Amino acid sequence: MPDTAAAFAAVFAALYVGHSVGDHWIQTFPQSADKGKPGWIGRLADTRHVATLTATKLILLLPAAALLGLHLSAAGLVAGMGVDAVTHWWADRRSTLAWLAKVTGKSEFYSLGTGAHPAHPVTAEGTPAATLGTGAYALDQSFHHLWLFVAALLIATV
């Protein structure tokens, strides 16, 4: 049990860092701009993003596992990375996460930091003011973190 707990902690840390790097540094602007578009343009941009994101996570996870002496199964890696990739792709289509926010009563929070929010910040001229983040981004990242947790559990225990 302690080995499994240590493996989970190490795997989660590697996936979390890989997620942050892959989602912010590796993702290209066209992927970011297009992945939420309808049709094949959006689907393919999202697929390219998730492919590079998954590769980034594996580039961090596999050497860490080897250096730390973690014994991870191929089945666990496939299951965990597969769940992570599918859920990331789903959320990053944008309309899907907006729908989830709506059905869970989080639409107002989802629009936080945008001109669509009823209490959006404004400049002295009355135009929408820039913010450091949005509710949509916070919900996106917390959704991904939830599935990183599930992926790490699968990787460490299967």
CA distances from 109 to 38, 94, 114 (A): 23, 15, 10
Domain residue extents for the chain: 2-157
Q: Would the CA dihedral through 149, 150, 155, 157 be positive or negative?
A: positive
Give me the phi and psi of 74, to 5 degrees please. Answer: -60, -40
Strands of 4-157 (E only): list them: none
Closest CA to 53 of 131, 154, 147, 158: 147
> CA-to-CA distance for 117 and 106, rounded, in angstroms?
12
Which pLDDT tens digit goes with each residue over 85-120? 999 999 999 999 999 999 999 999 898 877 777 777
CB of 82 within 8 A of CB of 74? Answer: no
> pTM of this prediction?
0.91
> CA-to-CA distance for 85 and 80, rounded, in angstroms?
9
Copy the structure tokens of residue 128: 């929408």
Which pLDDT tens digit goes with each residue over 34-69? 999 999 999 999 999 999 999 999 999 999 999 999
